[in-house]
Amino acid sequence: MPLEAVEARRLYRQVADQLRALIDSGEYAVGSRLPTERDLAEQLKVSRPTVREALIALEVEGRVRIRVGSGIYVAEPAALASLLPGSATAEGPFELLRAREFIEGAIAEQAARVAGTEDIERIDASLAAMAGVQHPGEASMIHDRAFHVAVSGCLDNAVLVRVVGELFDQRLNPYFTQLAHYFENPDSWNAALAEHHRIRDAIVAHDPDAARLAMRDHLARSQERFAQSFGAEAQSPLRVLARSG
């Protein structure tokens, strides 16, 4: 059963479905190593982040185990994998970050036009709190969320505050959490904090263009941080992909 190029929305779910079917059919035995991200992306004609999201989804389901620097291996299927909350409908981490990039970029632009003294004080308080916690951890996520909510609060619009908060809370879905487990660390946290300061400085300077660009740059860099490779790029020949069916 060969892999097929995929199209349409939520590609990572389609990729995960194809890989799961290959595993279930015995093309990949328990304990065997899957092809690399690069090989899968080339064969499926999708981006490597899409493949990464699919692999994370399968790991959350218990179908594969990711060993950084070694590869992705087929695991014994978890008994309750199909019952994971949101297993068929959850948005992927990159889809969420792209949405936030557009929405929060526009919010930061307007915040730079209207932010007052109290708004800046709330932003500064969140940044001070972020600087004082270790990452990764629950506290760091609370203060990170507070920063983005504080920026949206400059617009004095409860709907936008709720939207920004709810989008951020999607980080709590199991796929995003597992992705963050691999790629978030103190260095990535310090980089994000520096990016937050650039957003704050642009808002304080009442520079709408700079604020929009700084926010979009921050969320684009977040995507880049999650788009690193799991490793083992030179390993695992494409056994299944070379088959004709």
Q: What is the pLDDT of residue 80?
A: 43
Residue scoring higher pLDDT (48 or 238): 48
Most distant CA pair in the chain: distance in Å? 66
Note whether 196 and 131 are within 8 A (CB). Answer: no
* pLDDT at residue 88 in the model: 45
Q: Locate 133 and state its tokens.
A: 């916690």
Please tell me the pTM assigned to this model. Answer: 0.74
Lowest mean pLDDT segment, chosen from 16-20, 70-74, 153-157, 226-230: 226-230
Q: Going from the N-terminus, what domains does the chain have, and what CATH number goes with each?
A: 11-83 (1.10.10.10), 93-226 (1.20.120.530)
29-33 long-range Cβ contacts below 8 angstroms, 24+ apart: 29/74, 30/74, 30/75, 30/76, 31/73, 31/74, 32/73, 32/74, 33/71, 33/72, 33/73, 33/74, 33/232, 33/235, 33/236
Which residue did the predictor score with more confidence, 92 or 56?
56
pLDDT in tens, 206-230: 999 999 999 999 999 998 888 776 6
- Residues above pLDDT 70, as percent of the chain: 83
